[in-house]
Homo-oligomer: A and B are copies of this chain.
Amino acid sequence: MRSLTIGEVAERSGVATSALRFYEDRGLIASERTAAGHRRYPRAVIRRVAFIVFAQRVGLALGEIGEELARLPSDRVPERADWARLSRSWRARIDERIAELERLRGGLTECIGCGCLSLDRCRLANPGDRAAGLGPGPRYWMGDARPPA
């Protein structure tokens, strides 16, 4: 079985055929066509699709994923350098998001722990007032340093 139909790719990757066509439209994957105009995908497309799904879970938008894919070889197997660069940048992204979630979780604990319970006096709850000097918005949860306690 040299190449795969769109249905086979869908089944193997767990991604709907409509989504596959959509990705193709966006240039994230490519196919050849049979005489009848049906798509035929190289087996390696499974790899690319898995890559797309992975990247989405990491939090990348399709546009960014497209850029990454454009830098990866579609013909040859990715080289150590390709993968290492990607891995570094994704890891940074993942670490950032984890750090944010931990900040948020910390906020939760703190508001239980601090006893204020009001969501009102607590710095977690009204960043707009306490952090006014930092500009609008809930800054603490978004990565800014806290003001001196």
A138–B54 touching, CB < 8 Å: yes
Copies in the complex: 2
B14–A104 touching, CB < 8 Å: no
Beyond A54-B138, A78-B119, 9 additional contacts (C-beta under 8 Å) are A14-B128, A46-B129, A50-B126, A51-B125, A54-B125, A58-B101, A77-B119, A80-B117, A101-B101
State the 5 A-B residue pairs at the shortest beta-carbon distance, nearest first: A14-B137, A14-B136, A12-B128, A94-B105, A87-B108
- Tell me if A11 counts as interface (CB < 8 A to partner B): yes
A57 contacts which of B11, B83, B118, B141 (Cβ < 8 Å)? B141
Q: Which residue of B lies closest to A77 (CB)?
A: B118
Q: Determine the chain B residues whose CB is within 8 A of the CB of A53 once the complex forms.
A: 137-138, 141
Q: Determine the chain B residues whose CB is within 8 A of the CB of A118 once the complex forms.
A: 77-78
Q: Determine the chain B residues whose CB is within 8 A of the CB of A75 once the complex forms.
A: none
Q: Can you list 12 A-B pairs with a CB-CB distance of less than 8 A?
A: A10-B136, A11-B128, A11-B136, A12-B132, A14-B128, A46-B126, A47-B120, A47-B126, A57-B104, A83-B111, A94-B101, A101-B101
